[in-house]
Structure 1
Amino acid sequence: MDIRTGFFYLFSAVLLFAAFRVITARNPVHAALFLVLAFFQASAVWLLLRAEFLAISLVLVYVGAVMVLFLFVVMMLDIDVSSLRAGFWKHFPVAASVGALIALEMAAVLMGGFRPEEPRPMSAAVQAAAQGVQYSNTKELGKLLYTNYLYPLEVAAVILLVAIVAAIALTLRQRKDTRHVDASDQVRVKARDRLQIVKLPPTVAAPPAEPVTAAVENKA
């Protein structure tokens, strides 16, 4: 076993442990940190496969943006973990059935890749590495992404755009339990609409004091 195989088993073992701790950790912050560890181990596996662009993208996008934002949200919100786990055993049979079905599908797909097949032609990366030519997998990935997979990429972009618009619409919708201020009304407001000047006399005469004896007689 060479050093690359050793590193692969090491990164894979840590990745499986981190993924298991993501779903078993009771603290959501700890689960998010284990997910960050899983992303780092996955990027290391990508580096072993000479996919530097995918590895860096995984670290920058997921660890540097998504998980940091998720950690901020989790730490700022007062999440009641006990209420979230209240219906765990109630929905466990359905979740276990779906998980088993996904595991069987993944096994059926992955086990087909280990069957002996006819030798396939070498890819451009392997040919370039064998000939000692400088090869950029990022460039080749861009060519493949924007030629053969251009329409799926555009469909994914449209779906993400619709998701962003839907998230903004759900956030800005009027609710009865929150206060809403129209930005256009704030822009069109004028000073005379907010400030009203009322003229008052500088002095006001005090009402005459009622005699004490008259007040006592009235009370009697």
Structure 2
Amino acid sequence: MGFADISFIVFAVFTVVSGLGVILAKNPVHSVLMLILAFISTAGLFVLMGAEYLAFLLVVVYVGAVAVLFLFVVMMLDVDFAELRADYMRYAPLGGLVAVALVVQIGLMVANWQIPDEALAARQAPTEVIRTVTDAEVGNAEQLGMVLYTRYVHFFQIAGLILLVAMIGAITLTFRERRGIKVQDVGKQVGRRREDAVEVVSVPTGRGI
């Protein structure tokens, strides 16, 4: 059993265990920590398969969106922040375990990372004339880009519209109207006339207003 096989077993075990933790945890904080661990573990599996672009996409997009997801969960569940701060140390052991697991997995990713020979050659000669390459020499990111923006460009745009509608729906669900505060009426400000705001008064000399 090689180093890559051991790494695959570690990533797979962490993915399954953290996925179960997401759906079985009763505390939303624990679920978010398990979700981050599941995303990182899945990214490690993508690295082992040679799909480095999908691994970066999973970490940057999904792990970056976890904070926004947690924000919406807190807003919709109306979590008591005072109680959450009081029990801060209760989450420290689980957070420490997740941090250690992330460090181990990132180390395994770096150990299994293989830089293509074409990338090293391009780094040594960045001004060299670009030559025609075959599909076998094109990287993972280039192949996905050519497929997405040629064959599946319409589906890609439809997916973007669906995400936009989902974002608007989430903002609408979490929006709370606060009463008793002054709000700005743009239509009233734009439609304001000079006669409604300015009054010209003829004051006799020496009498004042």
Structure 2 match to 1:53: 53
Structure 2 match to 1:35: 35
Which of 139, 156, 165 aligns to 1:136? It is 139
Structure 1 match to 2:17: 17
State how far apart, in whole Å, the 2-side matches of 1:192 and 1:171 are: 41
Q: 68-77 vs 5-14, which deviates more?
A: 68-77
Tell me if structure 2 keeps the 8 A contact 1:46–1:54.
yes
Q: 1:68 Cα deviation (Å)?
A: 1.2
State how far apart, in whole Å, the 1-side matches of 2:34 and 2:47 are: 20
Structure 2 match to 1:68: 67
SS at the partner of 1:54?
helix
State how far apart, in whole Å, the 2-side matches of 1:16 and 1:29 are: 19
**Aligned-pair identity (%):** 37
SS at the partner of 1:50?
coil
Per-residue CA shift, 1:19-65, capped at 9, x if unaligned?
A: 1111111210111111000000000111111111111111111112x
Two-structure CA RMSD over aligned residues (Å): 3.9
Per the alignment, do residues 164 and 188 of structure 1 end up closer, same or farther by CA in structure 2, a change over 3 Å counting?
farther
Q: 1:159 Cα deviation (Å)?
A: 2.5
Per the alignment, do residues 27 and 168 of structure 1 end up closer, same or farther by CA in structure 2, a change over 3 Å counting?
closer
Structure 1 match to 2:101: none
Per-residue CA shift, 1:102-134, capped at 9, x if unaligned?
A: xxxxxxxxxxxxxxxxxxxxxxxxxx9xx9x75
Gaps of 5+ in 1: 81-127, 195-220
What TM-score results when the alignment is normalised by the length of structure 2? 0.54
Which of 147, 160, 175 aligns to 2:150? It is 147
Q: 1:79 Cα deviation (Å)?
A: 3.2
Per the alignment, do residues 169 and 18 of structure 1 end up closer, same or farther by CA in structure 2, a change over 3 Å counting?
closer
State how far apart, in whole Å, the 2-side matches of 1:168 and 1:18 are: 28
SS at the partner of 1:32?
helix
State how far apart, in whole Å, the 2-side matches of 1:186 and 1:172 are: 25
Structure 2 match to 1:156: 159
Per the alignment, do residues 75 and 171 of structure 1 end up closer, same or farther by CA in structure 2, a change over 3 Å counting?
closer
Aligned residue pair count: 144
Structure ID, larger Rg: 1
Match runs of 1:92-107 below 5 Å: none
Name the amino acid aligned to 1:3.
Answer: F
Per the alignment, do residues 187 and 161 of structure 1 end up closer, same or farther by CA in structure 2, a change over 3 Å counting?
same
Tell me if structure 1 keeps the 8 A contact 2:39–2:62.
yes
Tell me if structure 2 keeps the 8 A contact 1:29–1:74.
no
Q: 1:163 Cα deviation (Å)?
A: 3.5
What TM-score results when the alignment is normalised by the length of structure 1? 0.52
Per the alignment, do residues 6 and 181 of structure 1 end up closer, same or farther by CA in structure 2, a change over 3 Å counting?
same
Gaps of 5+ in 2: 81-117, 119-133, 198-209
Q: 176-185 vs 134-143, which deviates more?
A: 176-185
